[in-house]
Structure 1
Amino acid sequence: MLKIRTTISFIILIALSATSLYAEVAGKIAGKVIDKKTGETLIGATVTLVGSNKVTSTNAEGRFLLSGIEPGAYTIEVKYIGYQTKLISGIEIKQGVTDVDIIMDEAGSKALNEVVIKSSFKQESINTLYAKQKNSVQVTDGISADVIKRSPDRNTGDVLKRISGTSVQDGKFVVIRGLAERYNNNLMNNAYLPSSEPDRKAFAFDIVPASLVDNIVIYKTATPDLPGDFAGGTINTITKDIPDNQFLEATVSLGYNSKTTFKNNFISAQPNGKYDFLGFDDGSRKLPDAYSSIKSNYTSGTTSAQKIAIAQQFPNTFGYQTNQNSLPNVGFQLATGNSVITKSANRFGYNFSLNYTNGHRVSMGERFGYTGSDNASQELLNYQYDRNTFSNYKSLGGLLNFAYTFGRNKIALKNLYNNDFSEDFEQTNNARNYESGGTTPLLYKGFSIETTQNGIYTSILEGQHTLGKRNIILDWSGSYGLSYRNQPDQRIVTIFTPVNLPEYISLSSENSAKPNDLGRVYSKLNENIYNAKVNLTYPFKWMDEPQRLKIGGLVIHRDRTFSIDALGYTDGVGFGNRAISFTNGTDISNVFSPQSIQQNGIDLSRLDLSSTDYTGKADQDAGYVMLDNKFTEKLRFVWGARIERYDQTLSAAGKQTREYNNTDVLPSGNLTYALTPKTNLRASYFRSVNRPEFRELAGFRYFDYQTNYIIDGDPDLVRSTIDNVDLRFEYYPSGGEIISFSTFYKKFKNPIEQINQGNEILTYRNATNAKDLGFEAELRKKLNFISEGSFLRNLTFYLNASYINAKVLLADGRNVSTPLQGQSPYLINSGLYYTPENSDFSFNVLYNRIGERLKFRAVTGGADVYEKPRDVIDFQFSKQVMKKHGELKLTLADLLAQPYVFYNNYNSTGGTAYKSGEDKLIQSRYAGFSASLSFKYNFNFSK
């Protein structure tokens, strides 16, 4: 970790020292040249500024750049062999960069003379948008940088909620077509991302700032050149690449939360580490050497006296401060970049961004547990309590990308690092334990102090080369990814509060340690992923239409190490169940001091069942063949097959090493028929897989203090296979508008689900099979059809909605008409955007809702746990100031602030919606609404 921080610091210094604070007075024209039929970029096209000697050609990405242009109105001419020459007029050049992408038509085979097509700058922008939307190979949905900029979203998790058929669980895990995050594949800059979670296949998108993202594409159907382990979607996040102009901008933001800001209700743990303000643990929370040096022999080879002596080496860090005032959340961002053109017309550029946030949040709620016959009318309340979480969070991250284009080649190095750090104080109040239905409850309270540091680092070196007169494309990449999650020294305390008697803590026996009641838990996860791939695209003509043959392969290696130590404070001098009363001024802040531990005979015992370290390795090899056949101008078929070999090894301490091997052939086909120039009809089929993750296979338990569940693995899980069919109708009324209808069918064999097996123990099981039938609709339309007034002309309405019907055959023989675990029956996203051209202000209103999500499935006779729907409304207003050098942005997020509610569903009438008086709430949490005000300034210094 120290090496990563040093490297990032060094990179930041280099980037800052390389930045000069000026911009040219002259303007630039930049863009791409695109084939109208295929949507592919054209490499080597000639672009000329009419009436001047400025000429350039498109590079390996089909991009061009004309610089040193004085302000005024211009026309450019674009030529490419086999295509009609195009003149684009009305291009207004001002200081900075004017972007224009150009669509090229193939020349007619019978044309005797050169044909010149004339177009305006505005019309060409619309034409380009059409081509990008219509000519995608797969069924895709996405979001671009300009839409991200206009949304209130601060991180990529929020951005993804805006994409059709997509929702986000817990603020960071993506749900596509209602399917849980395990059915998604996560890429960044076309390279695999390591999982950010220790317990599941998932990536926490909230750790990637939205400001670093150029665009996001979600592939909902497969082609052979995509990874085969998804059924919901493959999410490809592309970070910002090379700028067309030199820039430097700084942003500062202030945030407000209705539950915390300017309120004196905040509780924080003490003491803090000296690097906490940056978001890094300073090592003061690590396991003492006295324990870690003998941990493998701690339980059986250590006497009680030795355990008491070791317990004295743990720091007494159970103190906390109450009634603290919360200042507004703050955020800073610095972004800069530049590109230069050499004398030989080669181009080098970089893009750098640094982000820092520091803030507070509070989550308040209730938790209920039941026991009995699993019948709504007969189940008895087992426990209940209030639990409030007070979090102080920091985030530090950056992006640094370099690229060099020369001739018809491009080499790029892309780096992204982000570190999240959170100090959480979880307070339990008004707790009552009815001990399996007893009439006199046991009263208690408690708290947990938890520090979590998690983050990612990805680095990818990639190249693209266009070879020979046939324009054969060779692209390759090598990447490294690191994901880590460190939770050092979680301190957990339960204090019993009998009526009219002193409060006390209870020490259990050494043989029955209870870290989740009174103890300390340490865990650490590191996962590395190495990825190398190569692709070769061979274009050719057949039936006088363009065709492509693409072949390629990749190798991936993953390795993970996970360690956990669950230690409970126990009775080192007796037989347990001994109480230590809080009398004569004794309180929790000094009970675990070295003197008190010695005086009271307190030791630390290891709960071996919850302290199993493990290592995992996975190797994947894949190869594919893909044909992109265009049979007529209207009919296109992209088809082929991919083969993936996957070997997985899991080694858990004290357990037998398990190996899992499988090889899968994954065919796919995507058929597109252009009914009209504005309409597509698509059909697709693909086979995919879903493999169990390391933690799901690891057969040990640990207690999740936040949810009050025990998590267990299942070494006997097998991978699932999925057959997927899609049909989609698309209509593009005008540039930036779409009306589409889709239906999809998915058949799962051995789907993996998380199961509540009773006694609040969660584990994983394969169901026998499952079937999903779903529908999607999307509408994005400007409202100028109502009236041509200036307001409605610039107002865009969008709506996307999904409905999913599922049937699942469980391993116990039950055939249920409920969603898969983690799935929602419907999703709704909607909004209004007001974005006038050449204006200095804009606003948008956004709405999001998901249906009842199956959180956990129960075993036979149990009650499934569902999450209630929430309505989320966001608003944003932005205004340019200071001659458009500055921008003020006001964001209001989650205005309704509805609670997150989970309930036991007893399904007496076959429905999943919550029914008051029948279903039982098990958890309700409130987080409040938030607001932020940011100011961004673009530095623009003349020479």
Structure 2
Amino acid sequence: MKKVISAITALFVLTLTAGNLFAQTTGRISGKVIDQKNSETLIGATVNIEGTTKASATDADGHYVLSGLAPGKYTILIRYIGYQSKTVSDIEVKAGANTPLDVTLGQAQSQALNEVVIKATYRQASVGALYARQKNSIQVSDGISSDIIRRSPDRNTGDVLKRIGGTSVQDGKFVVIRGLAERYNNNLLNGSVLPSSEPDKKAFSYDIIPASLIDNIVVYKTATPDLPGDFAGGAINTITKDIPDSKFMETTLSIGYNSKATFKNDFIDPQPSGKYDFLGFSDDSRKLPPVYADNKAIYTSGTTNNQKIAIAQQFPNTFGSKTITTIPNINFQFVTGNSKVLKNEGRLGYNFALNYSTGYRESTGDRTQYNVSAPDQLPLYSFDRNIFSSTKTLGGLFSLGYTTSRTKLVFRNLFNNDFSKDYEQTNNALNRDGDPNNPIHYRGFSSEVTQNGVLSSVLEGQHTIGERKIIVDWAGSYGLSYRKQPDQRIVTIFSAPDGGEYLSLPSENSPLSNILGRVYSNLNENIYSGKINVTYPFKWLNQPQKIKAGGLYTYRDRDFTIDALGYVDIVGNGKSIQLANGTNIENVFSPQSIANNNIAFSRIDLQSTDYVGTSKLNSGYLMLDNKFSDKLHLVWGARVERYEQKLAATGKAVQNYVNTDILPSANLSYALTEKSNLRASFYKSVNRPEFRELADFRYFDYQNNFNISGNKNLVRSTISNADLRYEIFPSSGEIISVSAFYKKFTNPIEQVNLDNDVLSYDNAVSAEDFGAEVELRKKLNFISENGLFKNLTFYVNASYINAKVKFRNREEAKTPLQGQSPYLINSGLFYAPESGSFTFNVLYNRIGERLRFRGVDPHTDIYEKPRDVIDFQVSKRLFKNGELKLTLSDILAQTNALYYNIGDVNKIAYSAATDKIIQNRFNGFTTNLSFKYSFK
């Protein structure tokens, strides 16, 4: 208890005296001491400043801090029982700054009495630590560090993930790994499972986490028993910042320009605005009015026509809009943190970050529909489609950490709220209904607010017990994900032959919310999780070994509500309302007009089904980490998962699903040389249906104009995975690797087309996925040790994937998995001198044609056309502690296009001669200028 009180008191002192902390004249050295062979941190190593009595011991995280050092150059000596001692010289300390230094130690070769001391310079030691981490990872994985994130033009995690080998991002936020759609990924935040941010699928919207809050991201492409077993593409672990090495405070202000939206004087903004829109939160004015919400149960059967008209009058008349001139996008960020060494040699630290942004987006494009049986005929319909969006983002991070020589406690919190107010219009629309001689002209619009958010709180601990140094680590977490879409308003205005315009009001029995109506939906998902792991180290074959066991319990509950309401003629069989003589879209749904025209709502039951879902995951595992020699390393074991899922939808029978799976895995690594590895792995995994996929009812997808229906007969899919990888590490920060993988799916879950614009889900018979990956990261100093090439790094990672899925009714076609791309390319060129005073980088990204929507037959499959993305960034330090950064994003600004694969269905590459583009979206390019200032 005294330690806890001491820690809390120290935190308050740190916070209250923050202004003075940044004026110190001394510096510090800090970092981790790492085992050279396995990259594990060493607990209890001593670190001394040579020639002084100043010393530090590494804590439960292997971390040390030497503080209160006068500016100058130092040499440190690191000792640890059973390891060779090491001195590191030429360590420069600057006033008010931290010098980071991770050091590797090699195990002693004999029990000789004379101490052997390995000597290294500061740069040699830093390079060695980074090299050890790269080489000794047991899994096939890829990652990206905070340093690379800082030097990239990426503003959110979704952008960052595009830079990782074998990874692409769909719709700017959903991750596709090795060509497999987001459903095959496991999303972790600080090691704890993230709740889904989407109402209809297993996915997390990574664009809501600011890149500046990330310490590192690791994508595990093979499994070990201590990871959750429900992934086949990858497990994405996003680690946010916890205990800083030294005090810091930074502010960043960014101003952005978009070629489509900024300084636009005809940007459409739906009205009215809410009181809290400027913060990114919707107020109560958009909620479903209580007069309806409190009478849902009797609305359709126990309410008279006059009562229904009176209820419709209580809905706000919010169908107006105004034209504004947009200003540049603005982002502000404040980040601070500090750490302090306490009297008991413990260390306390915190990180705090606040992020706010506001901006505008405009997406223009068109939508065309063809008769696939006669694609050369006139289109069935076509229209322009423009979307105007004003956005707000408010997010923050707070982490508090306390560590001693045997214990580490960290409390991590992340919150982010993303708000978008959208106005979508269709202009110059033409619907031929299959008959070019009978055109129907119309225009339409919809207005909606979407508020997405995520809250994650994790309390984690690590304890080293006894002389054997048994490690016990645990975590308890709570996650909240929400998606609010209050009051989406949809209006379609038809043109009469005489040039006038009118609204078509259907009868009460045939409402169409996607033509004329309002939709209210709300999703909340909570996820509670607890885990514990015990690692027992021992020696065998004169090599360090470990046995690890643990368990995980996760409980999810989801509450989804939706009300789809169509405006109807409550007393007749339908009629038209002329928009003339003072009647317009801004007053046609006023209380007076509703009464005069007998307008009411009819609830569309097929699209208004609420549901509640719960799931429980109980899992345990046993894992052995065996080193048979200095070269051969095997991690193997098995995981058992029992999954219980329950779904209760309004008016439907409760659905229950229970599965128990045994999931073995093995990862083998062989060090061919000091700089190269050969890796092989095998693991079994599962893919379970999501709540919405099981929900046995239909709803309308307004974004893509499809009806979506669940399937209560879905079963979970099982996957067998195998990987082989050869990698070379020429020097620190460099890698050359070649990988191959194979995946066999049984009962894969795929979206299917039931015809008549209805999509559902089904288990295919099987699927196979073959792939290869190549990665190269190489410094160009071999060209010249002077000038530009000395500090220039080139990297490229590319993937080729060949996937086939076998359906019972489509066996003749080589159908790819949904969301699967045949190839991925990420590439870049970085210039970063040691001083870091001037840097630049150029980044390139491309994905192959991927299946977006499955058609009734292969000729109606809808694919996404490839596009090239080039980003550029240059930065320059100013005023000693300032940094000016210019970013150009998506310079080519190519359109996002969808097309029918009308030609050879076994060759999905786009062909302008035979395939038909059905949708184009153009978002423009973005320029961003930011200035960051560090208070040191």
Confirm or deny a common fold (TM above 0.5): yes
For 1:314-393, list aligned pairs within 5 A.
314-322=315-323, 324-371=324-371, 374-377=372-375, 381-393=379-391
Whichever residue aligns with residue 34 of structure 2, its letter is I
- The answer to whether the 8 Å contact 1:444/1:498 transfers is no
- The answer to whether the 8 Å contact 1:59/1:407 transfers is yes
For 1:596-611, list aligned pairs within 5 A.
596-611=593-608
Deviations 1:34-67 (A, max 9, x none): 0011110000000001111111100011010000
**Partners of 2:760 and 2:867 in 1: CA distance:** 27
**Partners of 2:456 and 2:244 in 1: CA distance:** 21
**Partners of 1:708 and 1:86 in 2: CA distance:** 66
**Partners of 2:822 and 2:473 in 1: CA distance:** 40
1:652 aligns with 2:662: no
**Partners of 2:319 and 2:61 in 1: CA distance:** 57
Residue 861 to residue 850, structure 1, CA distance change in 2 (3 Å): closer
Secondary structure in structure 2 of the residue aligned to 1:141: strand
Secondary structure in structure 1 of the residue aligned to 2:586: helix
Whichever residue aligns with residue 364 of structure 1, its letter is T
- The answer to whether the 8 Å contact 2:348/2:401 transfers is yes
1:761 aligns with 2:758: yes
**Partners of 1:815 and 1:69 in 2: CA distance:** 73
Aligned to 1:906: 902
Residue 391 to residue 81, structure 1, CA distance change in 2 (3 Å): same
User: Residue 500 of structure 1: which of 494, 498, 505 is its match?
Assistant: 498
**Partners of 2:786 and 2:841 in 1: CA distance:** 18
Aligned to 2:813: 816
User: Residue 702 of structure 1: which of 693, 699, 707 is its match?
Assistant: 699
Deviations 1:795-819 (A, max 9, x none): 0000000000112111325153232
Residue 851 to residue 14, structure 1, CA distance change in 2 (3 Å): farther
User: Residue 714 of structure 1: which of 700, 711, 715 is its match?
Assistant: 711
**Partners of 2:477 and 2:30 in 1: CA distance:** 29
Distance apart, 1:703 and its partner CA:
2.0
For 1:159-238, list aligned pairs within 5 A.
159-238=160-239
Aligned to 1:483: 481
**Partners of 1:414 and 1:811 in 2: CA distance:** 48
Whichever residue aligns with residue 222 of structure 2, its letter is T
Distance apart, 1:755 and its partner CA:
2.0
- The answer to whether the 8 Å contact 2:813/2:905 transfers is no
Aligned length: 924
Aligned to 2:47: 47
- The answer to whether the 8 Å contact 2:810/2:857 transfers is no
Aligned to 1:442: 440
Distance apart, 1:572 and its partner CA:
1.1
- The answer to whether the 8 Å contact 1:713/1:764 transfers is yes
Residue 15 to residue 422, structure 1, CA distance change in 2 (3 Å): farther
Distance apart, 1:434 and its partner CA:
1.3
- The answer to whether the 8 Å contact 2:619/2:639 transfers is yes
Secondary structure in structure 2 of the residue aligned to 1:381: coil
User: Residue 796 of structure 2: which of 788, 794, 799 is its match?
Assistant: 799
Secondary structure in structure 2 of the residue aligned to 1:25: coil
Aligned to 1:103: 104
Residue 401 to residue 330, structure 1, CA distance change in 2 (3 Å): same
Whichever residue aligns with residue 234 of structure 1, its letter is A
1:290 aligns with 2:299: no
Whichever residue aligns with residue 355 of structure 1, its letter is N
Whichever residue aligns with residue 743 of structure 2, its letter is K
Deviations 1:309-335 (A, max 9, x none): 10000000000012x211000010011
1:664 aligns with 2:661: yes
Gaps of 5+ in 1: 1-11
Distance apart, 1:704 and its partner CA:
2.2
Whichever residue aligns with residue 491 of structure 2, its letter is V
- The answer to whether the 8 Å contact 1:76/1:88 transfers is yes
Deviations 1:750-793 (A, max 9, x none): 11112232222221111110001100000000001112222101
- The answer to whether the 8 Å contact 2:815/2:858 transfers is no
For 1:397-546, list aligned pairs within 5 A.
397-546=395-544
- The answer to whether the 8 Å contact 2:387/2:422 transfers is yes
Secondary structure in structure 2 of the residue aligned to 1:595: helix
**Partners of 1:579 and 1:294 in 2: CA distance:** 29
Deviations 1:825-875 (A, max 9, x none): 000000000000013110000000000011112234651110000100000
Deviations 1:575-620 (A, max 9, x none): 12x1000111211000000000001110111000000000000000
Aligned to 1:931: 927
1:569 aligns with 2:567: yes
Gaps of 5+ in 2: 1-10
**Partners of 1:171 and 1:111 in 2: CA distance:** 59
Task: Tell me the C-alpha RMSD between the 2 structures.
Answer: 1.4
Aligned to 1:831: 828
Secondary structure in structure 2 of the residue aligned to 1:306: helix
Distance apart, 1:898 and its partner CA:
0.5
- The answer to whether the 8 Å contact 1:405/1:411 transfers is yes
**Partners of 1:13 and 1:937 in 2: CA distance:** 25
In terms of mean alpha carbon deviation, does 816-825 or 652-661 score higher? 816-825
**Partners of 2:778 and 2:222 in 1: CA distance:** 25
**Partners of 1:752 and 1:74 in 2: CA distance:** 60
Aligned to 1:745: 742
Whichever residue aligns with residue 468 of structure 1, its letter is G
Aligned to 1:559: 557
Distance apart, 1:299 and its partner CA:
1.7
Distance apart, 1:485 and its partner CA:
0.2
**Partners of 1:612 and 1:909 in 2: CA distance:** 37
Residue 921 to residue 664, structure 1, CA distance change in 2 (3 Å): same
Aligned to 2:5: none
In terms of mean alpha carbon deviation, does 916-925 or 607-616 score higher? 916-925
In terms of mean alpha carbon deviation, does 712-721 or 450-459 score higher? 712-721
Distance apart, 1:919 and its partner CA:
1.5
Deviations 1:341-397 (A, max 9, x none): 1111111111000000000000001112234xx425477633211110000000000
Distance apart, 1:500 and its partner CA:
2.4
Secondary structure in structure 1 of the residue aligned to 2:519: strand
Q: TM-score, normalised by structure 2?
A: 0.97
Secondary structure in structure 2 of the residue aligned to 1:538: strand
**Partners of 1:881 and 1:464 in 2: CA distance:** 41
Aligned to 2:62: 62
- The answer to whether the 8 Å contact 1:413/1:460 transfers is yes
Q: TM-score, normalised by structure 1?
A: 0.97
Secondary structure in structure 2 of the residue aligned to 1:590: coil
1:771 aligns with 2:768: yes
Residue 916 to residue 13, structure 1, CA distance change in 2 (3 Å): farther
**Partners of 2:570 and 2:290 in 1: CA distance:** 21
